[in-house]
Structure 1
Amino acid sequence: MKYLLSGLLVFSALASRAQAVSHRDRVYTADQISNTVSVIDPADNKLLGQIILGKPQPDILSALYKGQALVHGLGFAPDHKTLAVVSIGSNNLTFINPATNAIKGSVYVGRAPHEPTFKPNGKEVWVTVRGEDYVSVIDVATMRETRRVQVANGPGMVAFSPDGKLAFVCSSFSPELTVVDANTYKIVKHIPVVSPFSPNIFPTKDGQQIWFTHKDVGKVSVLDVKTLSIMKVLDTGPITNHVTTLETSQGKVAYVSVGGEDVVKVYSREPGFKQLATIPVGSLPHGIWSSGDASRVYVNLENGDSVVAINTATNTVLAKMKVGQAPMALVYIPNAVPAGSPETANLGTQLVERPSVVRELKPVGAGAAGGSLVLRSEGLVDLASFALRNLAPNADYDIYLSKTAQAPYSRDYPLLTVHTDAKGGVMAQTLGPVQDVKNADLGIGSKAYQRVVVAAKAAGNAPVLVSE
């Protein structure tokens, strides 16, 4: 009881130093398939509308002359007056005024940029160009690239030390963390890390630690900024996506979205790095950020097309909001809009009423193979997204619909063929009338259920995964 009261007093003191959640705050999500930025008022957890940057994904299969494709990354200026949005398909960085939701301008960078991060002085935004091997430095005033910082292949994201002297760049293709002098743009150190796929990085406010995720192996590394050495590697779980650090009644903590388990995990940042909580949130949590007063944490559900708000005092879900399709990055901006600003200025709606369908793919017989299928209606067609794991490495597999209810599962409606990586995993998408395939076309009369089957491509090979 004494510890609980002490913790609550600490939380109250911390909260008193930051503005409580208000109608002037905003939560933003980058919706990759609908190509929108969803805008939420966190005071009442209400979706206000969407900033429409492009057409939904099936409409961008021809030449793209206008609009953006694959809206994915987010960052905001220290003065909270600019939101930066990365679109990985159109190689674009869009600047938005949060007060009006209006586009201020944009700049095109190299192949497949991933995330934008503003320098603490607000004069530059560093964009990781993941399809190449450099960070693009953009002058915020002119919205022009001024230089490129050469780093390891596939930079994922940048985190700055609070004083702005150092930049830390994680990589999506190289097993290293690159430390850069942010004033001279020179490399300070290359730090080996546990895996080559680190999509997200987040500093602590006190500048003592840098946390970054390893999505491919389900881990989080913690860097000691003073010694520039890895002080801890945490086993967090499959598809560890994003991390955010904050101070709550539990002390100095980190919240981690673990997509493969549909949970957010909470860890102490003190020596020992004890896990404090596991919070079920929904299908494939991805982007994550805390409110200005640390009373809440917001997390995207990539497969659920939603955002969940978590109460950090109880580590329970307090609200859920529908957003655009496949939300990826998420940021929370305190005091994003002036008092009295029109809530829905320059906002539209590009929501799909038909909900996404998530199907688990289970192994046929014994084995560790597994996966999931997400179906999203896109008008006349559906977008089917597959994530498969623990199959044979470097092998081809067919995915198809079957009219039969049990093995050997006839191959009645082919969807696509995929090739696994060296670890037996693969992520893939296809477009087609998957949800609306008429059962009569498959010769199964009035039965309303289709099985999704995964089998090795070679003729005669038995299925390895099937939907329920």
Structure 2
Amino acid sequence: MLISFLTRTARAKQLAGVLAAACVAAASPAVHANDVIVLNSGEATLSLIDQATEQIVGTRISTGKEPHHLMLTPDSRSLIVADSVSNDLMFIDPKTGKLQKRLEGVEDPYQLGFSPDGKWFVTTGLRLDRLDIYSYDSKTETPTLVNRLPLATMPSHMAFLKDNKTVFVTLQVSGEVAAVDLPTQTVKWKMKVGDTPAGLWLTPGEKYLLVGMTGEDDVAVIDWRTQKVVKRIQTGKGAHNFRSLDDGVHVAVSNRVASTISIIDENTLTNVGDITGLLPGPDDMELTSDKRYMWVTFRFAKHVGIIDMNTRKLIKTIAVGRSPHGIFFDDRAPVTAPNGA
């Protein structure tokens, strides 16, 4: 009886997965060259926006529960969406949002990342207090679990060194940054940095590690070789996540509580200006290839926005789903300037 029950359960799960995949595929709209993909973590959907017209393309597409972050595979064939509560990864077409495959049994994938050589795939388990480390087969786009490393409390964001051996991880509740050795899956060191560390960014030459202090109003500058905080850069309350401005000098940090974005000079380690007049809760950011426009998700406003980086003004907002978080677009092909620019 038990074997029969488990067999029926497994078949039911398999059928449910097939049906879910079919629903996503059926809901996917026609191909557009430059669709913007936005993850609505509060309602388990993704929104597709035509980048040229700034219009929602079709209806919102279902994902697993709480999709927070997304990342291209090293070969750019697929975009991985991490569904943290559904315990799965969705591989989707990076241009259309169409489902390619779904990997179940990947527990609590909140944040995700690849080592620079693409051999290691890592996810943070925000609610399970651990780091899951996988080897990655690029031919089949399949991660294989190597180890689950306990890492309390609330491991969040990551940054990888170019040596392909080290990943830094922020621990939000304990207020620490940890350095993890990937080949041995061990913690090399931990250090206190302050209240609710989140986003991480390495400055040119991997000289310093920047940490967005979401529980404070600054970015901590860490000399990771000596494990010391050497400076704090005043930004705004809720300093959270980073996005390079692709000029080799500046990086943006979103301040979720202050509802601003600060621009940091990576050489002088100073705040050289704030973008204000934004909607509540700016979070993840993407930059167009011409560096003219930045798209940003507003976690507390059910909108994404477009910022003109020449004037540093918000010029357009687009309604999406509840609690928009991750954002991505493939901007290798040219598009027209945003409407109203």
**TM-score scaled by length of structure 2:** 0.76
Structure 1 residue 295 corresponds to structure 2 residue 304: no
2:48 pairs with 1:39: yes
Equivalence for 2:244? 245
Instruction: Report what 1:319 is aligned to.
Output: 316
Counterpart amino acid of residue 222 in structure 2: L
Q: CA deviation at 1:313?
A: 2.6
Amino acid at match of 2:148: R
Q: Structure 2: how far apart are the matches of 1:246 and 1:227?
A: 28
- 1:383 — aligned with what? none
Q: Which amino acid aligns with 1:194?
A: G
Match of 1:53 in 2: 62
In 2, the alpha carbon distance for the partners of 1:184 and 1:146 equals: 10
Paired positions, count: 298
In 2, Cα distance between the equivalents of 1:281 and 1:137? 37
C-alpha separation in 2, matches of 1:270 and 1:208 = 10
Report what 1:220 is aligned to.
219
Partner residue, 1:147: 147
Shift of 1:47: 3.2
SS at match of 1:313: coil
Q: Is the 8 A contact 2:41 2:68 kept in 1?
A: yes
Look up the match of 1:450: none
2:122 — aligned with what? Answer: 126
CA deviation vs aligned residue, 1:96-152 (integer Å, no higher than 9, x gap): 232452232223233x44211122223432110011232112344334423223333
Distance in 2 between the 1:302 and 1:311 partners? 20
Residue in 1 that maps onto 2:185:
185
Equivalent residue in structure 2 for 1:69, among 65, 73, 79 = 65
In 2, Cα distance between the equivalents of 1:317 and 1:76? 27
What secondary structure does 1:200 align onto?
Answer: strand
- 2:76 corresponding residue in structure 1: 80
Aligned residues: percent identity? 23
Q: Matched residue of 2:257: which SS? A: helix
| Kept after mapping to 2: 8 A contact 1:162/1:206 | no
Assess, with a 3 A threshold, how the Cα gap between structure 1 residues 188 and 323 changes in structure 2: closer, same or farther: same
Change (3 A) 1:292 1:125: farther
Gaps of 5+ in 1: 1-22, 55-67, 340-468
**1:42 maps to amino acid:** Q
**Cα displacement string for residues 241-283 of structure 1 (whole angstroms, at most 9, x for unaligned residues):** 32223344xx712212222222222222222513323332212
- The corresponding residue for 2:85 is 89
Counterparts of 1:356-371 in structure 2 under 5 Å? none
Match of 2:158 in 1: 158
**1:201, CA displacement in angstroms?**
2.3
Distance 2:203 2:59 in 1: 30
Distance 2:99 2:109 in 1: 22
Task: Return the letter of the residue paired with 2:245.
Answer: L
Larger Rg, first or second structure (1 or 2): 1
SS in 2 for 1:199: strand
Of 38, 61, 83, the match for 1:29? 38
1:275 aligns with 2:272: yes
d(CA) in 1 for partners of 2:329, 2:222: 24
- Structure 2 residue identity aligned to 1:83: L
Stretch moving more, 169-178 or 319-328: 319-328
Question: Residues 135 and 291 (structure 1 numbering): CA distance in 2 closer, same or farther, change over 3 Å?
Answer: farther
Work out whether residues 235 and 271 of structure 2, in 8 Å CA contact, stay in contact via their aligned partners in 1: no
Encode CA deviations 1:405-447: one digit per residue, 9 max, x unaligned.
xxxxxxxxxxxxxxxxxxxxxxxxxxxxxxxxxxxxxxxxxxx
**8 A Cα contact 1:268 1:276, kept in partner:** no
In structure 2, the gaps of 5 or more residues are: 1-31, 335-341
Q: After alignment, is 41-50 or 302-311 more displaced?
A: 41-50
Q: Determine the C-alpha separation between the residues in 2 that align with 1:82 and 1:309.
A: 25
For residues 304 and 30 of structure 1, the distance between their equivalents in structure 2, rounded to whole angstroms, comes to 14
Amino acid at match of 2:76: H
Deviations along 1:172-191, whole A, 9 cap, x unmatched?
Answer: 22121111223333322212
- The question of whether the paired residues in 2 share the 8 Å contact of 1:200 and 1:241 is answered with yes
